[in-house]
Amino acid sequence: MTTPLGQALTLPCGLVLPNRIVKSAVSEYLAESDGKVLTDHVALYQRWAEGGAGALITGNVMVDRRYPEAPGNIIIDPADGLKVRDDLKRLSDAVRQGPARIIMQVNHAGRQCPSVCCERPVAPSAVPMKFGRGGFLSFAPPRALTEDEIEDIIGRFVHAISIAQTSGFDGVQIQAAHGFLISQFLSPRTNLRTDKWGGTLENRSRILMEIFRRAREITGNEFAIGVKLNAADFQRGGLTFEDVLELVGWLHTERVDFIEISGGNYEQPQMFGVDGESHVYSDGRLKASIVAEEAYFAEYASAIRDVSTIPVIASGGFRSREAMEMSIDFRRADAIGLARPLCIDPYAPKDLISEQLADLHHIAPPESGLSAHVFGAKSPFPWVRALHRYANITWYAYQVSKLAKMGRAAPNEGLISTLLAQRGFFKTHKKS
Ligand SMILES: Cc1cc2nc3c(=O)[nH]c(=O)nc-3n(C[C@H](O)[C@H](O)[C@H](O)COP(=O)(O)O)c2cc1C
């Protein structure tokens, strides 16, 4: 085996990943409203474990059942006590029978909690989502958290992290990217607070650093704790890459085990390689990567590696083995995160590492003649482009449910039929 993708990677805590391919977080949307792990989850992770990735990062597990990212999330709420551990253990056991490591992503949706789940989301400040109510995926305006509630949220993250450790997970990833609660605290666009949780970068990062430090006190140094960070928000007045570099320095001092670099949020979904607000924020590094239509944040991952020795997972857009290998060979990243391709082909990591597979570009939703034009990603109408983006993500979510329930994805299904199927799921899971 000559590809660098097959090399093992040791994290600062001592955890060894058997290779350089990481399955990035993909929300499974498989749980019932109680947020419990089901047999479908176990089957899904068994398949992904067989697929050969060095580490599997779970979809976001929510730390507060009142504010999930979507119906169907796994939930670890302190109100449920320790009883959630048995089901979680079945999941970690299924993965750890093989060489892959299992990392739980922990998250709080903040203002990105959709109206189907809660009527009044919470956020650092009462800054509503740009597309607010009335859209196909609507979000009510949030209210600002009190300081006591912020303390409560920190406790919830720490609780979920300690449950992950005692349920056999190898580590956790704190979701501080993609516009969810911690990312809302980091961004000066959504965090207008004037107390110790807002203002300077140090204050805006306080919630993340507190969660990390308090969790570390409980888990000890041999449990992996990583962070998913946005390279930037790519919105005017949002988190900048300069902020992120400074934050990385602090995380380095605290001995974070890995950083996964992504970018964007629901308003500006750069994590999927699309620009929701064309021309609002321009950055040469991002443009260069997007033009290549691969490795959206590779330039940022590389710059982070230059200022710290924290292992960096670059994710978002990787599709060719060559781009993945070059990133490792030229030390631009320590590992490569893959999400959407593994919703269709769970065995891609094995085949990339054995060099039987060179390219994943073919993995994409089928585009009909009509949807490719007026109703497609490049439609002249912004709301159509937004609907198309949503349908695209829904298509992948549908593939995950097929993988879990049928053992294989259904990539020939069209965008519209999968959108309708997933809408049906959301309706039946709507909070009463
Ligand atoms: C259906 C779906 C669900 C996702 N769920 C999560 C999630 O729970 N947490 C997260 O950090 N990212 C999530 N992502 C984003 C991916 O982790 C990844 O950042 C993004 O898809 C870009 O990587 P890719 O080009 O390899 O797909 C999700 C993506 C998809 C398509």
Tens digit of each residue's pLDDT (9 = 90 or more) over 31-41? 999 999 999 99
* Displacement of CA 60 from its chain's centroid (Å): 7
3-state class of 171 per DSSP? strand
The answer to whether 321 and 357 have CB atoms below 8 angstroms apart is yes
- Residue written as token pair 């060719």: 320
Report CA(104)–ligand 1 centroid distance (Å). 14
27 CB under 6 A from ligand 1? yes
The answer to whether 123 and 190 have CB atoms below 8 angstroms apart is yes
Which ligand 1 atom is at minimum distance from the Cα of 59?
8
173 CB under 6 A from ligand 1? no
* Mean pLDDT to the nearest integer, 162-185: 98
Tens digit of each residue's pLDDT (9 = 90 or more) over 107-150? 999 999 999 999 999 999 999 998 655 555 789 999 999 999 99
Q: Is 289's pLDDT higher than 60?
A: no
349 CB under 6 A from ligand 1? no
* Mean pLDDT to the nearest integer, 73-83: 96
Report CA(339)–ligand 1 centroid distance (Å). 5
Q: What was the pLDDT predicted at 290?
A: 46
Q: Is 151's pLDDT higher than 80?
A: yes
Determine if residue 241 is left, alpha or beta; phi over 0 gives left, psi from -120 to 50 gives alpha, anything else beta: alpha
More confident residue, 294 or 260: 260
396 CB under 6 A from ligand 1? yes
Q: What is the DSSP string of 187-211?
A: -TTT----STTSSSHHHHTHHHHHH
- Residue 154: what residue type? I
Q: What was the pLDDT predicted at 57?
A: 98
Report CA(161)–ligand 1 centroid distance (Å). 21
270 CB under 6 A from ligand 1? no
Buried residues in 68-99 as b, exposed as e (16+ CB within 10 A): bbbbbbbbbbbebeeebbebbebbbebbeeee
The answer to whether 185 and 209 have CB atoms below 8 angstroms apart is no
CA atoms within 13 A on the CB side of 383: 5
Helices (H), 15-117: 39-50, 85-96
Q: At CA 154, angle to CA 180 and CA 214, rounded to 5? A: 125
Residue 260 backbone dihedrals phi, psi, to 5 degrees: -105, 130
Report CA(148)–ligand 1 centroid distance (Å). 31
58 CB under 6 A from ligand 1? no
Q: Is 6's pLDDT higher than 80?
A: yes
Report CA(112)–ligand 1 centroid distance (Å). 15
- Name every residue whose Cβ is closer than 8 Å to that of residue 134 and which is 6 or more positions away in sequence: none
Q: What was the pLDDT predicted at 292?
A: 57
pTM of the predicted structure, to 2 decimals? 0.94
- Name every residue whose Cβ is closer than 8 Å to that of residue 241 and which is 6 or more positions away in sequence: 231, 232, 283, 285, 300, 303
Buried residues in 345-362 as b, exposed as e (16+ CB within 10 A): bbbbbbbbbeeebeebee
Tens digit of each residue's pLDDT (9 = 90 or more) over 10-27? 999 999 999 999 999 999
26 CB under 6 A from ligand 1? yes
Tens digit of each residue's pLDDT (9 = 90 or more) over 98-109? 999 999 999 999
Q: What was the pLDDT predicted at 281?
A: 41
Q: For helices 39-50 and 382-406, what crossing angle results, to 10°?
A: 90
Distance separating alpha carbons of residues 304 and 243, to the nearest angstrom:
12
Q: In Å, how far are 4, 35, 82, 105, 169 from 360, measured between CA atoms? A: 18, 32, 41, 25, 29
The answer to whether 118 and 139 have CB atoms below 8 angstroms apart is no
Report CA(40)–ligand 1 centroid distance (Å). 19
Low-confidence winner among 155-159, 230-234, 249-253, 357-361 (lowest mean pLDDT): 230-234
Mean pLDDT of the chain: 90
Which ligand 1 atom is at minimum distance from the Cα of 338?
26
399 CB under 6 A from ligand 1? no
At residue 295 the predicted structure's pLDDT band, cuts being 50, 70 and 90, is confident
Q: What was the pLDDT predicted at 414?
A: 86
Distance separating alpha carbons of residues 393 and 348, to the nearest angstrom:
20
- Name every residue whose Cβ is closer than 8 Å to that of residue 322 and which is 6 or more positions away in sequence: 358
Q: Is 228's pLDDT higher than 90?
A: yes
Q: Is 325's pLDDT higher than 60?
A: yes
Distance separating alpha carbons of residues 65 and 33, to the nearest angstrom:
9
105 CB under 6 A from ligand 1? yes
Q: Is 279's pLDDT higher than 50?
A: no
Tens digit of each residue's pLDDT (9 = 90 or more) over 375-427? 676 677 777 777 788 888 999 999 999 999 999 999 999 888 888 877 666 65
Low-confidence winner among 131-140, 224-233, 261-270 (lowest mean pLDDT): 131-140
At residue 236 the predicted structure's pLDDT band, cuts being 50, 70 and 90, is confident
More confident residue, 163 or 382: 163
* Displacement of CA 244 from its chain's centroid (Å): 17
* Mean pLDDT to the nearest integer, 155-160: 98
Q: Is 432's pLDDT higher than 50?
A: no
Q: Is 329's pLDDT higher than 70?
A: yes
Q: What was the pLDDT predicted at 137?
A: 72
Report CA(147)–ligand 1 centroid distance (Å). 31
At residue 291 the predicted structure's pLDDT band, cuts being 50, 70 and 90, is very low
- Whose CA is closest to atom 9 on ligand 1? 25
Q: What was the pLDDT predicted at 272?
A: 80
319 CB under 6 A from ligand 1? no
Domains, the chain, ordered by start: 4-363 (3.20.20.70), 368-432 (no CATH)
- Residue 382: what residue type? P
Hey, what are 151's tokens? 């303390």
At residue 323 the predicted structure's pLDDT band, cuts being 50, 70 and 90, is very high
